[in-house]
Amino acid sequence: MLIPFRRVLLTATRQHNCRLFSDSHATSSTRKGLVLGVYEKQPDNEGIRLTEAAAAFDSSISGKLSEMLTISGPLLKKGKSRTFYGLHQDFPSVVVVGLGKSSTGVCGKENWDNCKESIRAAVSVGCRQLQDLEVAHVEVDPCGDGQSAAEGAVLGLFEYDEFKTKKKVRVTTQPYGSVDSAAWQKGVLYGDGQNLARRLMEAPANHITPTAFANTIEQKLSPFAHKVAVHKRPQCWIESEQMGAFLSVSKGSEEPPVFLELHYKGSLDSAQPPLVLVGKGITFDSGGISLKPSSGMDAMRADMGGAATVCSALVTAAALKLPINIIGLAPLCENMPSGKANKPGDVVRAKNGKTIQVDNTDAEGRLILADALCYAHSFKPRAIINAATLTGAVDVALGSAAAGVFTNSDWLWERLQKASIVTGDRVWRMPLFQHYTKQITENALADLNNVGKYSRSGGACTAAAFLREFVTADHWAHLDIAGVMTNKDEIPYLRKGMSGRPTRTLVEFIAGLASEP
């Protein structure tokens, strides 16, 4: 039987590659891998289009990469990969990843930059492929955007395995070829920031208590002690501030509450009004007396995702040395059922004097945020942004596509949306109509009710309306991040688990604000 020449060549080449790979085999700690990019073939172009770094590598090995890509089948589509062995003595394993079309940019329909997202996704695929091969040192093609490539590498390689005996190989990455080193390092810091939030959110609730959370953030900020002050406010301080809503939630738990207060002074002008970031810090949410179903309750270890993202964003801003003043506030506690816990129908008093009827103890996040928002105004802020895994309703409305944003400020919304387009971690504006305010203010027993009187209707909107009752600032935004708390397979450069979203969007927003007069 005659065997086609192409199949003979391909088989021989594969055998040759395998032999070279085995000959150059070394321990995972010494082996190096390389990730390179290739674009989709255009209808008017029959040839292979490599990135600048991939073309330089191909030239250094006399065109062997192009030859292998040609004989190994159709060119790679976006997000797909192909691994070659033995092409280069310094890189026993080379993964080529598909970047999609080279001409794409910001997509108005998707509200993100297609090119940046493609690079993040492709690089993450290549790095994971090499990690599975137990390659510990990986050089990465910047693919024309060093920051996005670095983000893809750092985010794609993260996996929470701190309590596993068998762990994946720890991979170090660096750019391959000519690259803007500042852009690459910026991408690394952006990725590290989101990974910090992921690590906090993934950690079991018995390991990340309110006290442990505060200590972790303090430790992460220790390299920037000359610019950052950390205050871990104890229960006696919370009581002195008359934060009755926050205390009413924390009293059901044996774990003491902590009000974490961070001051980053990045601006040379000490009088510059600060940006205040507020994060919901429920380190475990059982629902209290209004107990949640047991199925899936373990995920409520991440109900402090708001605190995790805003604190991680502040840590990243400090690492980037952004010239802006930021204050981070995180009311930290557990929501547990006990003889001391809030009971449905109880009335509590917030810091601003407003009384709240607690009809559902599982709507506790808005209670602790109410006092934190009141306190935020004492700093005469430039703007206030709070983030919280607040409602399942926002997940029903938006799913994991975007975080819901409720804001009284067009100025603030425009900057948040602009930042999200750059990061690919999108936000979507939601309504703050008086229609929703009436549902939480028309209450016979107290000034406010912590749930809308039509409990199944517009839950994310009534929660935002509740928070607005504690805001007098002209520029305030509430980010409901419950829908983006986890990742299954929606974001290709994040593994399954807690997402740490939208940390990078907050960082990009802060960076943009820092660059303004």
Q: Which residue has the tokens 């104890």?
A: 234
Taking each continuous run of H as one helix and of E as one strand, the counts in the chain are 16, 21
Of 480, 485, 503, which is closest to residue 302 (Cα–Cα)? Answer: 485
Average pLDDT of 224-237?
Answer: 98
Neighbours of 294 (CB within 10 A): 8
pLDDT tens by residue, 300-334: 999 999 999 999 999 999 999 999 999 999 999 99
Band (pLDDT 50/70/90 cuts) for residue 167 is: very high
Q: What is the pLDDT of residue 6?
A: 38
pLDDT tens by residue, 100-135: 988 778 999 999 999 999 999 999 999 999 999 999
pLDDT tens by residue, 379-401: 999 999 999 999 999 999 999 99
Query: What's the pTM value of the predicted model, to 2 decimals?
Result: 0.94
Band (pLDDT 50/70/90 cuts) for residue 5 is: very low
Q: Is residue 455 over pLDDT 80?
A: no
Of 481, 464, 292, which is closest to residue 366 (Cα–Cα)? Answer: 464
CB 138 within 8 A of CB 171: yes
Which tokens sit at 469?
């009752």
Q: Is residue 508 over pLDDT 50?
A: yes
Which tokens sit at 49?
């289009």
Q: What is the pLDDT of residue 105?
A: 85
Q: What is the pLDDT of residue 46?
A: 63
Cα–Cα dist 373/470, whole Å: 6
Band (pLDDT 50/70/90 cuts) for residue 243 is: very high
What does the mean pLDDT of the chain come to? 93
pLDDT tens by residue, 30-57: 689 999 999 987 766 667 899 999 999 9
Which tokens sit at 425?
């971690």
Q: Which residue has the tokens 């009284």?
A: 408
Q: What is the pLDDT of residue 23?
A: 38
Measuring CA to CA, how many Å separate 259 from each of 189, 238, 373, 396? Answer: 26, 7, 12, 31
Q: Is residue 352 over pLDDT 70?
A: yes
The per-residue DSSP string of 135-173 comes to: --EEEE--TT-HHHHHHHHHHHH----TT-SS-PPP-EE
- The percentage of residues in the chain with a pLDDT greater than 70, rounded to a whole number, is 93
Of 259, 266, 251, which is closest to residue 221 (Cα–Cα)? Answer: 266
Q: What is the pLDDT of residue 27?
A: 55
Average pLDDT of 431-437?
Answer: 97
Average pLDDT of 445-449?
Answer: 97
Q: What is the pLDDT of residue 12?
A: 35
Q: Where are the CATH 3.40.220.10 domain residues in the chain?
A: 9-177
Cα–Cα dist 371/467, whole Å: 10
Cα–Cα dist 235/289, whole Å: 22
Q: What is the pLDDT of residue 133?
A: 96
Q: What is the pLDDT of residue 9?
A: 37
Cα–Cα dist 127/35, whole Å: 7
The per-residue DSSP string of 437-481 comes to: HHHHH--SSSSEESS-SSTTSSHHHHHHHHHHTT---SSEEEEE-
Q: Is residue 10 over pLDDT 70?
A: no
Architecture of domain 9-177: 3-Layer(aba) Sandwich (3.40)
Q: Is residue 466 over pLDDT 60?
A: yes
Average pLDDT of 466-491?
Answer: 98
pLDDT tens by residue, 63-87: 999 999 988 877 788 899 999 999 9
- Look at 97-106, 269-278, 406-415 and tell me which has the smallest mean pLDDT: 97-106
Q: What is the pLDDT of residue 102?
A: 82
For residue 86, which phi and psi values (nearest 5 degrees)? Answer: 80, 15
Which tokens sit at 207?
């390991």
**Cis peptide bond upstream of 74, omega within 30:** no
Q: Is residue 297 over pLDDT 70?
A: yes
Cα–Cα dist 436/457, whole Å: 10
With 0-12 / 13-18 / 19 or more C-beta atoms within 10 angstroms meaning exposed / middle / buried, residue 27 is exposed
Which tokens sit at 40?
């989709």
501 included as an active-site residue: no
Q: Which residue has the tokens 């993964």?
A: 95
- The percentage of residues in the chain with a pLDDT greater than 90, rounded to a whole number, is 87
Q: What is the pLDDT of residue 1?
A: 38
292 included as an active-site residue: yes
Q: Is residue 340 over pLDDT 90?
A: yes
Q: What is the pLDDT of residue 441?
A: 96
Of 156, 190, 198, which is closest to residue 173 (Cα–Cα)? Answer: 156
Of 352, 351, 421, 409, which is closest to residue 385 (Cα–Cα)? Answer: 409
- In the set 64, 80, 101, 292, the catalytic residue is 292
Total residue length of the chain:
517
- In the set 186, 265, 366, 504, the catalytic residue is 366
Question: What string of H, E and C letters represents the secondary structure of 270-320?
Answer: CCCCCEEEEECEEEEECCCCCCCCCCCHHHHHHCCHHHHHHHHHHHHHHHC
- Strands 325-335 and 258-265, sheet pairing: antiparallel
Average pLDDT of 198-209?
Answer: 98
Q: Is residue 2 over pLDDT 70?
A: no
Helical pair 181-202 and 146-157, crossing angle rounded to 10 deg: 30
Q: What is the pLDDT of residue 104?
A: 77
Q: Where are the CATH 3.40.630.10 domain residues in the chain?
A: 197-514
Cα–Cα dist 362/125, whole Å: 39
Q: What is the pLDDT of residue 44?
A: 62
Q: Which of these CATH numbers, 3.30.70.360, 3.40.630.10, 3.40.50.300, 2.40.30.10, describes 197-514?
A: 3.40.630.10
Q: What is the pLDDT of residue 21?
A: 38
Average pLDDT of 12-19?
Answer: 38
- The CA-CA-CA angle for residues 181, 183, 186, to 5°, reads 110
Cα–Cα dist 287/297, whole Å: 9
Average pLDDT of 128-145?
Answer: 97
Residue 348, helix vs strand vs coil: strand
